[in-house]
């Protein structure tokens, strides 16, 4: 039976945890710690991204040690052959190894070539952005009634839908990141606190420490009512795992959103915090907002990432035209 919160089947019996891999050579671990600092401090990667890169690089070194291979393109191909990853996973693994090799050569001055350069990148087809429908959002908000942190969760849902921010970006916001009517749209250099005017935009630091200014939609402005005096989204009542004034974790928000979706009879996989970001992007595209403008609002590094919302919108249009009545012999012309 599927777990409605996690979207996958619960094990029916106890499963012993897999043994943790043995640590790598101390000198290699020291190198990987330096690589992690580089990713965090110079490349601006989020902790989760750094963890994924390190996991792939550690797997690479363990594979080489186990097979007795050197760092060569042939070894990369052998690793891919052994693991047989899907196209997206293969591209992610190659990206981690490429960044690792280039860091060793350019930053540390090691005589290391990019072993992924000759390896072909598998094509990964574009996935349509799955997101909650507008009619479903009202049912979801109603289902939040009775939650211990109903106000916080309702404001977060409205804010994520009304701005398209990543959950990590929203949870890191402070009152000083709001930009007032009088100072918008002058830009981040003139951004100030909301004192003396209504909030009109929010200053966001996203992936790669890139700063952008996101105007506030009516839904986002409503969400700001009752926010904290410093951090915008904090717990309002004490409870298990909750302390008044503390910022919730992204995982806590994810689980509460999915629980509310289940109560509303909705697919919990469509109501993660990130799916509200998809709903924002798709709604703007369907309203005719240029893709390059949506790209800036979402903080995408490449417009190719934003174009997935075009595909989602086109699919809905194709579904709509299928409802057109038939015209021809034997049809009732009314």
**229-274: pLDDT as tens digits:** 789 999 988 888 788 889 999 999 999 999 999 999 998 988 999 8
Token pair in block for residue 104: 């060793």
**Which superfamily, per CATH, for 134-174+216-318?**
Intergrase catalytic core (1.10.443.10)
What's the confidence (pLDDT) of residue 294? 76
The reported pLDDT for the residue numbered 58 is 94
Confidence at 147, pLDDT banded by 50, 70, 90:
confident
Distances (CA, A) of 303 to 61, 91, 240, 293: 34, 18, 42, 10
Return the bridge partners of 203, or none: 213
Q: Using the structure block, give the residue that is written with the tokens 């050197």.
A: 70
Q: Quote the pLDDT of residue 6.
A: 39
Using DSSP's 3-state secondary structure scheme, residue 149 falls into coil
CATH 1.10.443.10 residue ranges for the chain: 134-174+216-318
| Residue range 175-188: mean pLDDT, rounded | 67
> What's the CA gap between 247 and 237, in Å, rounded?
12
**Location of each CATH 1.10.150 domain in the chain:** 26-106
**Domain 26-106 = CATH 1.10.150:** yes
pTM: 0.57
Provide the pLDDT confidence category of residue 25 given band limits of 50, 70 and 90: confident
Residue 91: both structure tokens together: 């591209």
Residue among 209, 179, 207 at smallest CA distance from 193: 179
Residue 210 pLDDT class (50, 70, 90 cuts): confident
pLDDT at 269: 87
What dihedral do alpha carbons 146, 149, 155, 158 form, nearest 10°? Answer: -50
- pLDDT at res. 191: 40
Specify whether the CB–CB gap between 3 and 268 falls below 8 A: no
Determine the average pLDDT of the residues in 179-195: 51
């Amino acid at each position: 039976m599927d777990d409605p919160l996690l979207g996958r089947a619960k094990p029916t019996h106890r499963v012993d945890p897999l043994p943790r891999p043995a640590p790598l050579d101390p000198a290699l671990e020291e190198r990987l710690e330096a690589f992690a600092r580089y990713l965090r401090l110079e490349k601006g990667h989020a902790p989760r991204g750094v963890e994924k890169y390190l996991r792939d690089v550690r797997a690479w070194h363990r594979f080489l040690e186990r097979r007795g291979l050197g760092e060569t393109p042939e070894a990369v191909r052998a690793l891919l052959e052994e693991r047989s990853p899907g196209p997206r996973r293969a591209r992610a693994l190659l990206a981690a190894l490429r960044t690792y090799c280039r860091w060793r050569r350019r930053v540390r001055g090691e005589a290391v070539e990019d072993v992924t350069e000759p390896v072909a990148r598998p094509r990964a087809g574009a996935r349509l952005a799955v997101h909650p429908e507008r009619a479903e959002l009202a049912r979801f908000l109603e289902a939040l009634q009775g939650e211990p942190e109903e106000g916080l969760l309702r404001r977060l849902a409205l804010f994520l839908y009304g701005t398209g921010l990543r959950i990590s970006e929203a949870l890191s916001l402070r009152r000083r990141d709001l930009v007032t009517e009088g100072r918008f749209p002058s830009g981040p250099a003139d951004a100030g606190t909301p004192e003396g005017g209504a909030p009109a935009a929010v200053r966001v630091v996203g992936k790669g420490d890139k700063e952008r200014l996101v105007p506030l939609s009516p839904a986002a402005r409503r969400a700001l009512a009752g926010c904290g005096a410093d951090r915008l989204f904090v717990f309002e009542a004490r409870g298990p795992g909750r302390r008044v004034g503390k910022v919730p974790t992204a995982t806590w928000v994810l689980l509460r959103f999915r629980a509310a979706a289940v109560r509303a009879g909705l697919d919990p996989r469509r109501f993660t915090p990130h799916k509200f970001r998809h709903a924002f992007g798709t709604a703007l595209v369907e309203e005719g907002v240029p893709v390059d403008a949506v790209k800036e609002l979402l903080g995408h590094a490449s417009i190719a990432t934003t174009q997935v919302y075009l595909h989602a919108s086109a699919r809905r249009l194709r579904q709509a035209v299928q409802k057109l009545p038939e015209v021809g012999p034997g049809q009732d012309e009314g």
